[in-house]
Homo-oligomer: A and B are copies of this chain.
Amino acid sequence: MKMDLITSLYVFMLAAIVGLEVIRRVSPLLHTPLMSLTNALDAIAVVGAILLAGEHKTTLSTVLGTIAIVAATSNVVGGFFITDRMLKMFKASRSPKP
């Protein structure tokens, strides 16, 4: 447990740094799609929900897990879908002038 905590802290710390470094450089043009994308990625929580519902340990856990899957999945689908829709709209000029 303790070891888990520590390694998890390493991962969290490094991931946070990566996030700050990378996202600081996202073009302001794309801040709206960025929101919906990170949103979809965040819905990876669905994996936890799947295990919970699938392991079927108690009725409570199964029920909560199932609802959780529904919530997360709708984020995954909706999030990626709308992000791609927005990004499709961004086009450069046929002959980009400076």
Contact = CB atoms under 8 A, between A and B. Distances in A.
Interface of A: 7, 10-11, 14-15, 17-18, 21-22
* Prevailing SS type, chain A contact patch: helix
Contacts of A11: 7, 10-11, 14
A55 to B, nearest CB: 19
Contacts of A18: 14, 17-18, 21
A21 B14 CA distance: 12
7 contacts: A10-B11, A11-B14, A14-B14, A17-B18, A18-B18, A18-B21, A21-B21
A46 B11 CA distance: 23
Contacts of A21: 18, 21-22
A45 B22 CA distance: 29
